[in-house]
Structure 1
Amino acid sequence: MDGDEYFYPVHMENIGCFFDQFEHADGVAVSWCIYGSSDRVVRPRNTTVEAFRAHSTTELGDNSLVKSFVRPEKLGPNYTDPHRFDIPEERYVDTKGQQVVWNGAIKNIDWDDAKILHYICRSMEHYIQRIKRRINADLGDSQVYWNHCLCQRETSP
């Protein structure tokens, strides 16, 4: 997982309890849930999860991407992409324990049992600092990405 992502098991006490239910699997695909700025301009002093509660709906196609948790010893030799790994399809499951139905690197969005809280755009201050760090970033066109990440409609953990 990246530094702007948090694992959230909806019905379980912790990540260990969640993954204990997948002994039959070698890979588990967990849907992204992209969070926006919650209308904050300056970085808040409280934690990310406390400060940024508004997230996109399932209509945002970016949420079709996943983070995969895999057993390293079960990885095959082929690279697929950063979201999907070389695990036999019958051993790759979703958060309900059912075989993943892939469409390239994406799958149907499912936030019922677990999700990856993905804080792409936090405060405007954070966003500007992030854009400035990118090599050859065109700051004049950075508003497109900011607006894309503001598609927040729901509030939850």
Structure 2
Amino acid sequence: MAARNRLPIFVNKHFLDKKRKSLKYKILSYALFPIGLIEQKKLKRASSISYKRENFKYKMVVVSIMKNEAPYIKEWINYYLSIGVDHFYIYNNNSSDSTEEILKSFPKVTCINYPGELRQLDAYNDALNRLKKIAQYITVVDADEFVFCPNKVKFNLYQFVDEYLSHKEIAGLGIHWLIFGSSNFITPPDGLVTNNYVFRSKTNFYKNKHVKTIVNPRKILGYTNAHLPIPLPGYKIVNENYQVIDNPTSDNVTEEKIRINHYFTKSKEEFMKKRDRGLADNIGKRSIEEFKIHDKNDVFDNSMQIFNENNNLNKK
């Protein structure tokens, strides 16, 4: 199924309005399954090809799909640039604000207009197809997610990840997130998100079981889940301690070496705007209960403030 989902017929513009529960869609899905098996064999053969590092156009690319994230884009991009990301492939999904204009103002951003509903997995699979020969590694994250190495004033994401993905059998590094709450803000304060929201959940908060994954695109079969892609046979995805991850959530939350600071709620007002945008992977809107669930302010954590200060990122 993962290889089938990467087929151009599944990710191109002709299928923007596909209804995933319709009879027509189900028939198409089953009809293309044998082609997916053929594609899997092709991808497996291609994964054995040895690529020289210097032949890649980019060492580290960030991939994201976003809608109406204009107030937050500059901080997010500048942060990832500060930790060594070479380029961004951003799928602009029906934005009605200045998201596209801001994205195109950055020379290291490729903005792809990607309209339609339920496009998250399509975008990720499209990115695998586009980048498999030009990007050594891909970091797939949302616009409220910041990959962070705690206890390090400076770090390079590519160098950190390469220690794991340079192993022949490893296809990806799964990174747990820590949920940051509203810091009791009702309305958004001025300044950087990463400076303002300094209270987070405890590590054992059950929502922190989720991972996001940095991958070698040549060793990935495809995405059927936004958190954890399917590796090709013979490869594996591991956490920071080299333990195999085979599920989008893991009871063993590890975040001592690397984590994702997930600013899920921000202020209550911002969460309500986020709720109105809808979901990238499901029909409908978030429940207001999700704010209550995720608004965790149990641990004071200003490590991003310190990082921003030391890397001159305090100007938004």
- Does TM-score exceed 0.5, indicating one fold? yes
Asked if structure 2 preserves the Cα contact closer than 8 Å seen for 1:91 and 1:99, the reply is no
Match of 2:275 in 1: 131
User: Sequence identity of aligned pairs in percent?
Assistant: 25
- Structure 1 residue 136 displacement after superposition: 5.1
Of the two structures, which has the highest relative contact order with CA contacts closer than 8 Å and spacing of 6 or more? 1
- Shifted more, 48-57 versus 129-138: the winner is 129-138
Spell out the pairing of 1:133-148 with structure 2 (5 A cutoff). 133-134=277-278, 137=285, 142=288, 144-148=289-293
CA RMSD of aligned residues (A): 2.1
Once the two structures are TM-superposed, the CA of residue 155 in structure 1 deviates from its matched residue by 1.8
CA apart distance, 1:90: 5.3
2:86 — aligned with what? none
Displacement of 1:19? 1.1
The match for 1:86 is: 230
Aligned residue-pair number: 151
Structure-2 residue corresponding to 1:46: 191
Matched residue SS, 2:200: strand
Shift of 1:37: 0.3
Does structure 1 residue 18 correspond to structure 2 residue 163? no
**Which residues in structure 2 correspond to 1:95-110 (within 5 Å)?**
95-96=240-241, 98-102=242-246, 104-107=247-250, 108-110=252-254
2:162 and 2:299 map into 1 onto residues whose CA distance is 30
- For 1:29 and 1:101, how far apart are their aligned partners in 2? 7
SS in structure 1 at match of 2:265:
coil
* Contact 2:174–2:213 under 8 Å retained in 1: yes
| SS of 1:21 mapped into structure 2 | helix
Which residue identity is paired with 1:65?
H
Contact 2:204-2:253 within 8 A present in 1 as well = no
What are the ranges of 5 or more consecutive residues in structure 2 without an aligned counterpart?
1-140, 304-316
CA contact (8 A) 2:237 2:245 kept: no
Aligned equivalent of 1:55: 200
1:89: Cα distance to partner? Answer: 7.1
8 A Cα contact 1:28 1:68, kept in partner? yes
Cα pair 1:89 1:100 within 8 Å, conserved: no
Name the SS of the counterpart of 2:174 in structure 1.
Answer: strand
Which protein is richer in helix relative to its size? 2
SS at match of 2:298: strand
Residue in structure 2 matched with residue 120 of structure 1 by the alignment: 264
